[in-house]
Amino acid sequence: MPTLNLPTADGRLASYTTRPPVSFPAASPPFSRIAYAAAHVVPDPLADNDPWLTPAIDWDRTIAFRKYLWSLGLGVAEAMDTAQRGMGLDWGTSLELIRSSLDAAREVPGAVIASGAGTDHLEPTPDVTVDDVIRAYEEQCAAVEKLGGRIILMASRALAKAARSPDDYAKVYGRILGNVKEPVIIHWLGDMFDPALAGYWGHADLGDAMAVAVDVITDNAAKIDGVKISLLDKEREIAMRRKLPQGVRMYTGDDFNYAELIAGDAQGYSDALLGIFDAIAPAAAAALGALTRGETATFHDLLRPTVPLSRHIFRAPTRFYKTGVVFMAYLNGLQDHFTMVGGQESARSTVHLAELFRLADAAGLLRDPDQAASRMRAVMATRGVH
Percent of the chain with pLDDT over 90: 98
Average pLDDT, integer, range 112-129: 97
Within 13 A of 12's CA, how many CA atoms are on the CB side?
4
Q: Are 34 and 50 in contact (CB under 8 A)?
A: no
Q: What is the residue-averaged pLDDT of the chain? A: 97
Q: What is the pLDDT of residues 277-318, one digit of tens each?
A: 999 999 999 999 999 999 999 999 999 999 999 999 999 999
Domain 29-304 fold: TIM Barrel (3.20.20)
Return the SS3 of 25.
coil
Over range 42-48, report the average pLDDT: 96
Residue 173 pLDDT class (50, 70, 90 cuts): very high
Region 136-163: mean pLDDT is 98
Q: How confident is the model over 186-201, as pLDDT tens digits?
A: 999 999 999 999 999 9
Examine the pLDDT at 2 and tell me if it is beyond 90.
Answer: yes
Domain coordinates of the chain in residue numbers?
1-21+327-386, 29-304
Average pLDDT over residues 309-337: 98
Indicate whether 155 pLDDT > 90. Answer: yes
State mean pLDDT over 38-50. 96
Polymer length of the chain: 386
**Is 248's pLDDT higher than 90?**
yes
For residue 85, the tally of other CB atoms under 10 A from its CB is: 23
Average pLDDT for residues 74-98, to the nearest whole number?
Answer: 97
Q: Are the beta carbons of 80 and 278 closer than 8 angstroms?
A: no
* pLDDT tens, residue by residue, 217-245: 999 999 999 999 999 999 999 999 999 99
**What is the pairing mode between strands 249-252 and 271-274?**
parallel
Percentage of the chain exceeding pLDDT 70: 100
Q: Is residue 12 over pLDDT 90? A: yes
Query: Cα-flanking dihedrals φ and ψ of residue 274, to 5°?
Result: -130, 135
Half-sphere exposure of 4 (CA within 13 A, CB side): 25
Q: Could you please report the per-residue DSSP string of 147-162?
A: TTPPEEE---HHHHHH
Q: Indicate the pTM of the whole model.
A: 0.97
Q: Is the pLDDT of residue 28 over 90?
A: no
- Whether the CA torsion 134, 139, 142, 143 is positive or negative: it is negative
Res. 331 pLDDT band, cuts 50 70 90: very high
DSSP 342: G
92, 285 Cβ separation under 8 angstroms: no
